[in-house]
Amino acid sequence: MTINEKNKILEHIVLCLNKTSLLQIKFEEDGDMGNANKFRRRRNRLRVERDELLREILREWIGDAKTLTSRIRNDNKELDKAIKNPFENRNCSKRD
């Protein structure tokens, strides 16, 4: 599954979580504790799913960030070398 697909699923889980929370509150206010408890359990399951998916997305993002950081460091080292020794790799003739 791609990161974009995971983000879409996460978006849907968050929407369901919000709606479930609102329904739980509504049933609690109405005194319907049976349905309130049902939606509380559903909300808790959605939170677990959301948290697991967030951890997975974060692990992928951190891995990508580590790779990018490593590339940037290597490129910066090469750039530093080129700046410090601009004539090192050039064929320059000496004037007599």
The domain spans of the chain are 3-80
CA–CA separation, 50 vs 55, rounded Å?
Answer: 9
Its pTM stands at: 0.64
35-44 pLDDT, tens per residue? 999 999 999 9
Give the per-residue pLDDT at 88.
Answer: 61
* Nearest Cα residue to 11 out of 61, 54, 45: 54
C-alpha distances out from residue 19 to 16, 48, 52, 55, Å: 5, 16, 20, 23
Tell me: the pLDDT tens digits for 23-73? 999 999 999 999 999 999 999 999 999 999 999 998 888 877 778 888 888
> What per-residue confidence (pLDDT) applies to 53?
95
CB 43 within 8 A of CB 24: yes
